[in-house]
Amino acid sequence: MIKDAYIIFRETEIPNMSNEFVHSVTVPRIYKFTADIVRRVREDGASLKTLIYEKKHPNVAGIYGLSVNTLRALPQLDQLLDKTQILREQPRLNPWLAKVLITELLWRKGCLKSCSKPVLTVLAYENKLREEFKSLGSIEIPVVHKDKVQKPRYVRINTLLLSVEKAISIFQEDGWQLLPRSTTYSSYLQSLSQLSKPYFIQDFHIPEIFAFPPSTFFYEHSCYQNGELILQDKASCLPIHLLNPVRGSVVLDMCAAPGMKATHVAAKLQNCGKVYAVEIDAKRFETLVSQIKKTCSSCVIPLNRDALTLDPKLYSHVEYILVDPTCSGSGIVDRPKQSDMDGKPESKRLQNLQSFQVYLLRYALFNFPNVKRIIYSTCSLYPEENEEVIDEVLADIGNSYRLLPVRQLLKNNWINFSSTKYDCGDTCLYSKPDDDFCNGFFVAVFERNFDMTLPKCKLKGGNEYKNLIKIDLTVRKDNVMKTVAYKRNKYGKMSMEEEISVPDDLDEMKISRNVEFVAPDIKRKVKVRKSKKKVKEVGICSDLFGFNHELTLNESKKRQKKTEDTEIKKWKKGKLKHENILEMGKDKEIIETEYDKKQQNVENKTKLSKIKNEKIKIKFI
């Protein structure tokens, strides 16, 4: 019966020019939407709830349940697809749609009623799928029909567009009743635990934060859609609250996407000051820019680059730094479980994350001379990403920084702190979902002691290590210093102005044009072909302990000018931001100044050599 239906349906297909088919029967929207949501959650790291409510589908509960079930079953789905060979035999079938349909067939409703081609294709493999499914053993996947988040729904008022008083009146007009502010943190927690409709309460610590009963939705609220309300958990707001930047100051957010914290800083500054929001990932950078625009955070300057390549000379005026690096996310309460390993620490992954976290924090501590306060935060509950990271950098900074006790900053109105078995003691903050009714978070506060000079640190991220970003890479042969020219052609392959053996992994490195990076102590055999042509100056990148950091080449003066002219033309067409051109201008001035100094040194040495030769000739005569 299935084969007959499948054959009949194939006769109704209308081919088009793109090797796909326009079907007479469309795939149900719930499956299409869910497939796109699951893909973006897995590939882009997007928020599941945000994606669901962006779609504005009438069956929100159905999409949420199907999405969670599909994400939870992904390991088993990959096995089923591999064993049944369905994707190899049906190459036009979208893999994510196939996973959603199989989840619906095997774990949820047990049937597929649509007559669209993707559904009929999956049904043609139903017997194989069920046979292989039995061999996987019993797998329990709870059916989720709605969001069952138990913590309150936190809302941050964007004070750039809406005052706290006006927001309260808007909520009251909507039928909500404001509870009296609590006098102690314990009484506040008691109110949170009993919060229910139609009551809401102002946060005990952060006045622009309000808590509503669990599962309160604001996605369709006009104030949310125009950027006046930000759906942000309280724990995520704590780092900026503790950073407490002074109005008119300069702040650096080293890992800024999706932009919640950067725009929170802008609100604290009331757009009076400057916030550098750095994000290396291109897709996440787009989200960051969108959030900045939506919230009217005009003082935020987005930078699509690696924070580790920021030249401290160009950002020496930074006064506050937020270090909120990639982490395991083990403290996030309402994140759907996506595999059997969720919630279980993976030692190798944690070790890799810790290495990067230490490197980034050390870079912030050692390379910005005017910084007053630095916040380190994660949404993790693992000490490997928290206390152990702090202890490692404490061994390097000496008395040049003080680790401020968060207990005092919050006037003893908090419950959970870091463990005393570590060197950092109980100076850092932990938010625990079961105690504080928000996501799990860790926050450490460093304050600069300007009476002490920064010690020298040769470890990765330290102030001695940063010198690698300043110098040109030179290659030694027969005790003669030579500079090597390097470039890539349109196919991404390397070509050299002179023949030279280079690191094997150079082709795989990411290149960024605004910062120079070079590797020290390169010990490789060099073959230099003699040439009368003037050799161009350039740097060679080096990968850093397995992380694909975005590095750059120091191009020649002529080539730099040509590239910048091209970029300016693109900008005039609307393809580049004004801020990027300004950054290029600053880099250009530094490069030209260094170039002129080098040229002057060469000319001085030449003149000195001529004078000495003349003296020798005179003596000889």
Which is more confidently placed, 196 or 147?
Answer: 196
| pLDDT tens readout for residues 352-409 | 999 999 999 999 999 999 999 999 999 999 999 999 999 999 999 999 999 999 999 9
pLDDT of residue 113: 83
pLDDT of residue 602: 66
pLDDT of residue 475: 32
Q: Are 462 and 447 in contact (CB under 8 A)?
A: no
Pinpoint the alpha helices (H) of 24-94.
29-44, 48-55, 60-72, 74-84, 86-89
pLDDT of residue 592: 52
Mean pLDDT of 260-283: 96
Q: Are 552 and 309 in contact (CB under 8 A)?
A: yes
Mean pLDDT of 291-303: 96
> Confidence band (pLDDT; 50, 70, 90) for 136?
confident
pLDDT of residue 348: 86
203-217, 241-255, 462-476: segment of lowest average pLDDT: 462-476
* DSSP string covering 102-128: HHIIIIISS-----SHHHHHHHHTHHH
pLDDT of residue 26: 87
Which is more confidently placed, 463 or 131?
Answer: 131
- The pLDDT of residue 522 is above 50: no
201: β partners: 211
Q: Which of 237, 299, 327, 379 is catalytic?
A: 379
pLDDT of residue 315: 95
Kindly report the average pLDDT of the chain as a whole number: 76
Mean pLDDT of 449-461: 87
34-43, 429-438, 439-448: segment of lowest average pLDDT: 34-43
> Confidence band (pLDDT; 50, 70, 90) for 74?
confident
> Confidence band (pLDDT; 50, 70, 90) for 519?
very low
| pLDDT tens readout for residues 463-498 | 776 544 433 333 333 333 333 333 334 333 333 333
pLDDT of residue 418: 97
- The pLDDT of residue 566 is above 70: no
Rounded CA separation 240/245 (Å): 8
Instruction: Please state the φ and ψ torsions of residue 78, each to the nearest 5 degrees.
Output: -60, -40
Mean pLDDT of 285-296: 95
Rounded CA separation 596/557 (Å): 10
pLDDT of residue 337: 53
**Which residue type, as a one-letter code, is found at position 343?**
G
pLDDT of residue 593: 56
Nearest to 403 by CA among 380, 430, 441, 429: 429
| pLDDT tens readout for residues 571-599 | 445 444 444 444 444 454 555 555 566 66
111 is annotated as an active-site residue = no
316-330, 377-391, 548-562: segment of lowest average pLDDT: 548-562
**Which residue type, as a one-letter code, is found at position 598?**
K
pLDDT of residue 273: 97
pLDDT of residue 55: 62
- The pLDDT of residue 312 is above 70: yes
Which is more confidently placed, 587 or 251?
Answer: 251
| 6-15, 66-75, 306-315, 483-492: range with highest mean pLDDT | 306-315
Mean pLDDT of 145-167: 83
> Confidence band (pLDDT; 50, 70, 90) for 15?
very low
pLDDT of residue 24: 60
pLDDT of residue 322: 98
Q: Residue 252 is inside which H or E element, if any?
A: strand 250-253
pLDDT of residue 159: 97
pLDDT of residue 621: 42
pLDDT of residue 310: 92
| 63-77, 128-142, 532-546, 580-594: range with highest mean pLDDT | 63-77
Mean pLDDT of 332-337: 69
| pLDDT tens readout for residues 496-510 | 333 323 333 322 222
* DSSP string covering 541-590: ---BTTB--EE-----HHHHHHHHHHHHHHHHTTSS-HHHHHHHHHHHHH
128-132, 152-156, 306-310: segment of lowest average pLDDT: 128-132
- The pLDDT of residue 319 is above 60: yes
Rounded CA separation 389/497 (Å): 44
